[in-house]
Structure 1
């Protein structure tokens, strides 16, 4: 939107005008706003994203492994693998002759652009089954870890993708560009947080509300990343000086609108409900 694109109106008989400008120093919704239900964990070599102050993990695997260790009981992880539910074929076998448990898995190699399966290579083997839990966590695919977190800890998530080309934009869905985009992390929450924070949430609908709220948080954060944050400036006409005097301004309006829709949206949020005109002559 061009600078100084004025809209005119009358307020209590006074001739007024307003215009919208981009907010060059917007508040960070991840740290300057209250009421967030999601925790946004991201990893990128060039940008500090999401809740970066709370992210001390080396990468997404390090984070996810720690999350499952802290929230899922070992017996639940063991039973999941023993039941052969892992999506990568991970399984436990007991060697009666050696009297020890063995953790087996399936690996996929890609030499020269082709793939072949190396059937059930031994990953680790110990005398005590409990000693294998860390290896199970490391070996489980991410989708299995999120499944265990949802089933046993009421923790749910959405993936976060970043498109980086002449600026950055974030979404919970893939951008479909293998060169300039990719997954950078997750936004996640838990049942306890949702029930405590969202007044309309209950034990039956908390997941539906959580997904919608997390989606909304990502959309607002994307507006922050893309500069879709604005301020409104109002001026009053001084007939004696034949000039305009600034009366008020307010900043920090997040909006994905454009053109007249953007102006009307921000004006209403600011409190200007009068009809807006494109020219002074139209007001009279």
Structure 2
């Protein structure tokens, strides 16, 4: 469905018109993207499909993929995790004790204490760390990782920056890219983490614009009203301006 919102006479009898267009697929499905954007907002689809029921399941999988047992153990021994500790008992056995706090929601469960027994393995450590508020900080040492926030008020909005609305917003997921993703996206050219991080910001903003209905169609017509070109799928104000400019250039070539 189209809702015309503007037009411009090009001076040679041609006219470019633009309209809101609600028949645009998610940019996560038809555009090339650097990041993987996973969310767990109740009642909303994740931008990218995934098979993780809980964010902690995803975190555990990523920790096991990117860190060795000794690296995980050293992170715990360093005191990085407020709710975890590895200590030796009277027999010299190293034991892991955990008090959980969700890294995504911040909800605490300090009354839950679990003893993992003698010499925990890599899977045990990754499972425990995945529950911790500091887990994303550790994973960020291996991948470029950003928290995704959602504002659920008269429609949805997404950002890598906290909306700071205590009633209608909060963290709902992550967007991330590993070394292989970054190398592929930037064609093997050495790329800073900061540059990759900015690209992830852009992808979340673009998805938010799509969710908010900032999707447009642009049409070029001649003096008789014949449609010379029609494109639907521009997202955001910047995308709309690109579409309008493309039609202007096409009109110049046809003059």
Q: TM-score, normalised by structure 2?
A: 0.83
Aligned to 2:185: 197
3-state SS, counterpart of residue 184 of structure 1:
strand
Rounded Cα–Cα distance in structure 2 between residues aligned with 1:72 and 1:95:
26
Picking from 96, 103, 107, the partner of 1:103 is: 96
Aligned to 1:267: 244
Rounded Cα–Cα distance in structure 2 between residues aligned with 1:263 and 1:27:
16
Gaps (5+ residues) in structure 2?
102-107
Measured after TM superposition, the shift of residue 107 of structure 1 is: 6.7
Which residues of 2 match residues 136-175 of structure 1 at below 5 A?
A: 136-140=125-129, 142=132, 144-151=134-141, 154-175=142-163
Measured after TM superposition, the shift of residue 26 of structure 1 is: 0.9
3-state SS, counterpart of residue 223 of structure 2:
strand
Rounded Cα–Cα distance in structure 1 between residues aligned with 2:7 and 2:216:
15
Aligned to 1:27: 25
Measured after TM superposition, the shift of residue 220 of structure 1 is: 1.4
Measured after TM superposition, the shift of residue 274 of structure 1 is: 7.1
Rounded Cα–Cα distance in structure 2 between residues aligned with 1:48 and 1:100:
45
Q: TM-score, normalised by structure 1?
A: 0.75
Rounded Cα–Cα distance in structure 2 between residues aligned with 1:74 and 1:233:
58
* Conserved? CA contact 2:95–2:116, under 8 Å: yes
3-state SS, counterpart of residue 237 of structure 1:
coil
Structure 1, residues 29-85: CA drift from partner, whole Å, max 9, x if none? 111112x11000111221113102xx1111111111111112211111112212333
> Is it true that 1:217 corresponds to 2:215 in the alignment?
no
Aligned to 1:123: 114
Rounded Cα–Cα distance in structure 1 between residues aligned with 2:10 and 2:123:
67
Rounded Cα–Cα distance in structure 2 between residues aligned with 1:168 and 1:264:
24
Picking from 229, 237, 255, the partner of 1:256 is: 237
Q: Identify the range of structure 1 (246-255 vs 214-223) with the bigger mean alpha-carbon deviation.
A: 246-255
Measured after TM superposition, the shift of residue 212 of structure 1 is: 1.1
| Larger Rg over CA atoms | 1
Root-mean-square deviation (CA), in Å? 2.9
> Is it true that 1:230 corresponds to 2:216 in the alignment?
yes
Rounded Cα–Cα distance in structure 2 between residues aligned with 1:91 and 1:194:
34
The 1:40–1:177 alpha-carbon spacing in structure 2 relative to 1, beyond 3 Å, is same
Rounded Cα–Cα distance in structure 2 between residues aligned with 1:273 and 1:264:
14
Measured after TM superposition, the shift of residue 175 of structure 1 is: 1.2
How many pairs were matched up? 244
The 1:56–1:195 alpha-carbon spacing in structure 2 relative to 1, beyond 3 Å, is same
Q: Identify the range of structure 1 (55-64 vs 22-31) with the bigger mean alpha-carbon deviation.
A: 22-31
Gaps (5+ residues) in structure 1?
109-114, 239-243, 276-284
Structure 1, residues 163-186: CA drift from partner, whole Å, max 9, x if none? 112211111111111222111100
Rounded Cα–Cα distance in structure 1 between residues aligned with 2:188 and 2:8:
39
